[in-house]
A and B are shown apart, each in its own frame.
Chain A
């Protein structure tokens, strides 16, 4: 039996190829994502290991969150105490600052919203466990106020080489610096900063620039003598530290940094894996369909095997063996293609600024195992459905002229489909509205259940569509249109299964289109309703900027008044919590609607709370809120509860002074400018203030709205790119179905050619068949996508996204594109059909 199965595989190389394509793509996507994620993890683990010493001495609670600025420092005098430790080989003080941007030779800021931009003092201290940190690869260390060292990636991206003058922008009072590039640093093993940028001065300059000239450090690295462990050294250091400082081992510090970041990266990996899952579901559809067709074509051969004495189980097994071989083959090819894809994904995330170029790709054994396991299991499970039906072929059918594979009744499919849709909708409802735990799973499974249910019921549900398509075709395209329409009705299971594969990708694309359009419309409306003043000043990357900008803006001719807003991240009840702040005198400008207390009572060490947030945390006016900030635990008195207001970014609002006292630098996130009535040319004058600071810009309402919409567009674009994969697999599914059905209909095509159908007419017929399938998938996708989109938007209507917008033009474009896809998918099958030798085709069995 095994030999018979393999023979039949090799005898149909084209079919083998076609049925492998779907699984190759599904596995490639999965393997590519796993490889990418491993590469990402390893590069960050390596990066973080090189950014800690054996022991790190730092201000207590100094860093709540990775990449957050804190004003807490340690006095330089502490170094002597640490050097005296018996286990210390050397002690190095570090100055580290954030938001220190390099301006490229082309005048653009290097880096972006994603990876941090570091500045600091150059140090040649070894990292923990003797790992070599950054070393000077070209030039020399920086000395004096006008010398700077860049990491090689940044120097390369900015287009600087040794001797060039590098303009640097910071968020401190010293807005613009320029220094001569005297050294380029890099990792000896070729690692990179993964897109982060690094600017290093000598210690005195770094202290001057970033610590207001204080003789202090942001932390110390202690390098252990050989024989002293990190833990022992940390304990020694702890004994001599003053209050407010702590010593942690490098391993702990690296883990802390890494886990914060890897959590975010895990999200990215999960996000990508969801798309791999979608691709695999679509692949499974194609495989089920392909095997159904293959088995149908071979039913006479299988009946013959049964007549010759093969058992039912042997016949089923022969199909499963075929599936196994295809699974192995597909997984192998998929793994290969996955390497290419991992590179493509790297390029995709590089658009976020997460630059992994130069990192060798990690091919972990787990990836190989997962690729083969998923590839083989998906193929065999998908093939099992049609294989099961072969068992029902009666031996006597070998003798019949035309033989039809027993099909399960469409009524059962309809019942199953409706049941699945019902379950899916219920799960979706539970996930979105009932507040069940793990709601994400309910939503995901609900969507999947609905999609599978629609697919199952589709042969029945789509019949009116296919009938309408047939008569439209007959009217528009005459006899070939009629034939094409009839062909799509001939085997509705096959037509709809092929269309369903496309439906899945398009449903998600339509859903995303609606979510995106709605989110953008919500942003627009919020900006419109809440934009106060005439201009808003903010950093392009959402980073804070020096308070001196606001002060200078206040003095600009034509400015009536300004309103500043800033925030810091602390911890409330062990979880991250943003705290917003403004000048107490400016609070009335927010126009808050108060539920309790008075906004005007806001003073240092008091807060206003958003009413709903306060209620859910059991807080009221007069209570105190305890928040962990860089300077330690803070306790603030609640003086008022305000109703949700979109321009107040966080539920806790305090004064600027309170935030500075909590360890945050005197930097604003937003400055609102009110113009004198009748003033002209104000924006140009404001632009002059920030002209030398390319990160900060002045925007009017439209510009601000556009800036707020931009990240939504970026996310949608990336989701589209990922969905393209599912759509490509589905399009190959159409190619596959058409090609196989042409093989099946060889004799009929021969007949058509014999009675005078031209090649062009034949190609037109295949093209029309393809378009019906693609259009059916697109129409189903539109209906489901709009359904999902509106449901999801309705579910999040309380979270500020309360506009539901259906991007009609975009949806129409997608529908038209689906017709184009149909035409393209038909190109090869149609050519094949047109080239059939008429005589041989007629005489095919």
Chain B
């Protein structure tokens, strides 16, 4: 199913993942036997209409949610075998997050927010890597400001820096541009793109924005909990076309 030949082991592997909500008539299949590899050093977008299961897929991959059956491997670790403590450590050491609504800690400065995952792990930042992350975020003297004193775009860049600073195996970004104007959004996407190109960071982004998807290496399309299509090196037009096809039948049934 992988269209792009992977020359490294995938950063995460999803195998036969199924998750349902409710029961009987109201049963919803959020994920329906999804199998997928997330390539290391790749910028992957997961797209699909509302209710397609894309967020659930990301939450399961990011050790925030558990599936009913199937498994997720991050590196070599099978998440379904891990308990809360190990999952927490995995999130801390192997995974970075960027949320739609920034989710910075309001009491900490931008810099403290960026360093938080390392501080929690009681690790010192690699100074070279830290400087390069800080410089790419381009906050300059605003590093000592609290989140409430930053614009939305700046806050989201801080969030990206926080996700990158611990050099996680995968960065998950949940609609990172959803709350931003197009210019700020582009800055954030450029930042993610650069982390992939320059540092080989693996990034997985959930989005429904074709413009955002066009920044990625590969787009995976979900509908009704299944992987229905994917595009490599997508353009905005390709994405729009697939989206129209994918969500077409659904809008009929709705």
Q: Cβ of B120 and Cβ of A754 under 8 Å apart?
A: no
Q: How far is the CB of B189 from chain A (nearest CB, A)?
A: 21
Interface range on chain B (Cβ under 8 Å from partner): 20 to 34
Q: Cβ of B65 and Cβ of A755 under 8 Å apart?
A: no
Cα distance, A479 to B65, chains bound together (Å): 26
Q: Max chain B CB contacts within 10 Å: which of A752, A756, A761, A842?
A: A756
Bitwise, B193-222 to A at CB < 8 A (1) or not (0) is 000000000000000000000000000000
Q: Max chain B CB contacts within 10 Å: which of A490, A753, A838?
A: A838
For residue A839, CB closer than 8 A to chain B, the reply is yes
Interface segment out of the listed A480-488, A493-501, A607-615: A480-488
> Which residues of chain A are within 8 angstroms of B64 by Cβ–Cβ distance?
754, 838-839, 842
For residue B89, CB closer than 8 A to chain A, the reply is yes
For residue A757, CB closer than 8 A to chain B, the reply is yes
Closest residue to A479 on the B side, CB-wise? B119
Cα distance, A839 to B108, chains bound together (Å): 22
Bitwise, B174-202 to A at CB < 8 A (1) or not (0) is 00000000000000000000000000000
Cα distance, A761 to B121, chains bound together (Å): 11
For residue B88, CB closer than 8 A to chain A, the reply is yes
The residues in B between 24 and 67 inclusive whose CB is less than 8 angstroms from any CB of A are 59, 62, 64-65
Bitwise, B85-121 to A at CB < 8 A (1) or not (0) is 1001101110111010001011110001000110111
Q: How far is the CB of A800 from chain B (nearest CB, A)?
A: 54
- Knowing A756-B92, A757-B120 touch, does A839 contact B59 (C-beta < 8 A)? yes
The residues in A between 469 and 519 inclusive whose CB is less than 8 angstroms from any CB of B are 478-480, 482-483, 486-487, 489-490
Q: How far is the CB of B68 from chain A (nearest CB, A)?
A: 15
Cα distance, A727 to B119, chains bound together (Å): 36
Q: How far is the CB of B96 from chain A (nearest CB, A)?
A: 8
The residue from A753, A755, A839, A842 contacting B116, defined by CB atoms under 8 A apart: A755
How many chain A residues touch the partner (CB < 8 A)? 24
Q: Cβ of B107 and Cβ of A479 under 8 Å apart?
A: no
Q: Cβ of B112 and Cβ of A482 under 8 Å apart?
A: yes
The A interface is mostly helix, strand or loop, or mixed, namely: helix
- Knowing A478-B119, A755-B117, A839-B65 touch, does A747 contact B103 (C-beta < 8 A)? yes
> Which residues of chain A are within 8 angstroms of B95 by Cβ–Cβ distance?
756
For residue B84, CB closer than 8 A to chain A, the reply is yes
> Which residues of chain A are within 8 angstroms of B162 by Cβ–Cβ distance?
755
The residue from A478, A479, A753, A758 contacting B89, defined by CB atoms under 8 A apart: A758
Cα distance, A748 to B97, chains bound together (Å): 14
Q: How far is the CB of B82 from chain A (nearest CB, A)?
A: 13
The residues in B between 155 and 183 inclusive whose CB is less than 8 angstroms from any CB of A are 162
Q: How far is the CB of B12 from chain A (nearest CB, A)?
A: 17
For residue A742, CB closer than 8 A to chain B, the reply is no
Cα distance, A482 to B93, chains bound together (Å): 21
Closest residue to B121 on the A side, CB-wise? A756
> Which residues of chain B are within 8 angstroms of A487 by Cβ–Cβ distance?
107
Bitwise, A756-788 to B at CB < 8 A (1) or not (0) is 111101000000000000000000000000000
Q: Cβ of A758 and Cβ of B85 under 8 Å apart?
A: yes
For residue B8, CB closer than 8 A to chain A, the reply is no
Q: Max chain A CB contacts within 10 Å: which of B59, B97, B107?
A: B107
- Knowing A479-B119, A751-B99 touch, does A756 contact B108 (C-beta < 8 A)? no
Q: Cβ of A486 and Cβ of B120 under 8 Å apart?
A: no
Q: Cβ of B105 and Cβ of A752 under 8 Å apart?
A: yes
Q: How far is the CB of A566 from chain B (nearest CB, A)?
A: 71
Q: How far is the CB of A760 from chain B (nearest CB, A)?
A: 8
Cα distance, A449 to B124, chains bound together (Å): 50
Cα distance, A479 to B105, chains bound together (Å): 12
> Which residues of chain A are within 8 angstroms of B117 by Cβ–Cβ distance?
755-756
Q: Cβ of A489 and Cβ of B105 under 8 Å apart?
A: no
> Which residues of chain B are within 8 angstroms of A480 by Cβ–Cβ distance?
120
The residue from B59, B84, B92, B106 contacting A755, defined by CB atoms under 8 A apart: B92
Q: Cβ of B119 and Cβ of A748 under 8 Å apart?
A: no
List, sorted by A's number, 26 A–B pairs whose CB atoms are closer than 8 Å.
A478-B119, A478-B122, A479-B116, A480-B120, A482-B108, A483-B105, A483-B108, A486-B107, A486-B108, A748-B105, A748-B106, A751-B105, A752-B105, A754-B103, A755-B96, A755-B97, A755-B116, A756-B89, A756-B92, A756-B120, A757-B92, A757-B120, A759-B88, A838-B64, A842-B99, A842-B103
Q: A479-B119, A489-B107, A754-B91 are in contact. List 19 more A-B contacts (CB 8 A).
A: A480-B120, A482-B108, A482-B112, A482-B119, A490-B107, A748-B103, A752-B105, A754-B64, A755-B96, A755-B97, A756-B91, A756-B93, A756-B117, A756-B121, A757-B92, A758-B92, A759-B85, A839-B64, A842-B64
